[in-house]
Amino acid sequence: MAGHSHWANIAHKKGRIDKVRGKLFAKLSKAIIVAAQHGGGDPAGNLALRYAIDRAKKGDMPNDTIDRAIKKGTGELAAAHYDSILYEGYGPHGVAVLCEILTDNRNRTAGEVRRIFEINGGNLGSTGCVAWMFERKGLFIIPATQISEDGLMELAIEAGASDVQPMGNSFEVTCPMEMYQQVAEAFELAKLKPEVAELTMIASNTVDLDIQSGRAVLKLMEALEENEDVQNVTANFNIPDDVMAQLAG
């Protein structure tokens, strides 16, 4: 099982990410503002904005808050300028970590992220040190109670997905980045409700973790996700099911 998928599923089940609603809304608003700044305020012609709005709605952000964020992005309302940055580093036990950042203060965010890495047994690396291990793809996690593996395979591949894999009590579906919206719409028409639906960086190889190293890596992941400037975190770890059961217990 892919490390990111494990992390996405763990985060969803335990509800550890963005425990404070205001922090979640701040992250989602930044994504909408930046998408509108770069591609305009019409989601029909701006895939990044459509994706950001979908994420906001899944996070229960009110429509008027979404509309204000779009207007900030298009310049109708005043807004800070956010830089998009990719930080790369290593976590405990050599796990490669990517942090996708939106910030209005590069120096502040760099210091905060570096400190999070250091106090959790990792280190912030130089540009390009681990990004080569990852590829941006669409990722969906579908509960196995909603559809059979054969049924999902047929639906997903026809919609443009590249792979369907069983993952405990769920299925992991991946697709090329450009097919994300098409696959998402196919699932919606089939009345499937993914636990996770996102564009993310997926690793080409993984590092297997035992219970001790797994606990250390998850602690780093949680700490990074808690930072308001961090939009997404992904890593190339793999936690076997028996170890995951112990960690979740």
pLDDT exceeds cutoff 70 at 122 = yes
pLDDT score of 99: 95
For residues 231 and 2, give the distance between their C-alpha atoms in angstroms, rounded to a whole number.
20
What is the CATH T-level fold of the domain 3-74, as seen in this structure? Arc Repressor Mutant, subunit A (1.10.10)
pLDDT score of 199: 87
User: How would CATH label the architecture of 83-132+205-237?
Assistant: 2-Layer Sandwich (3.30)
pLDDT score of 137: 92
For residues 37 and 49, give the distance between their C-alpha atoms in angstroms, rounded to a whole number.
9
Percentage of the chain surpassing pLDDT 70?
Answer: 91
User: How would CATH label the architecture of 133-203?
Assistant: 2-Layer Sandwich (3.30)
pLDDT score of 22: 65
pLDDT tens string 163-213: 999 987 889 999 999 999 899 999 999 999 998 888 888 898 888 999 999
For residues 36 and 69, give the distance between their C-alpha atoms in angstroms, rounded to a whole number.
8
Domain boundaries, the chain: 3-74, 83-132+205-237, 133-203
What's phi and psi for 60, nearest 5 deg? 65, 30
pLDDT tens string 2-13: 455 556 555 554
Q: Retrieve residue 22's tokens.
A: 């205001």
pLDDT band, residue 59 (cuts 50/70/90): confident
Q: Retrieve residue 16's tokens.
A: 């550890």
DSSP 190: T
pTM: 0.83
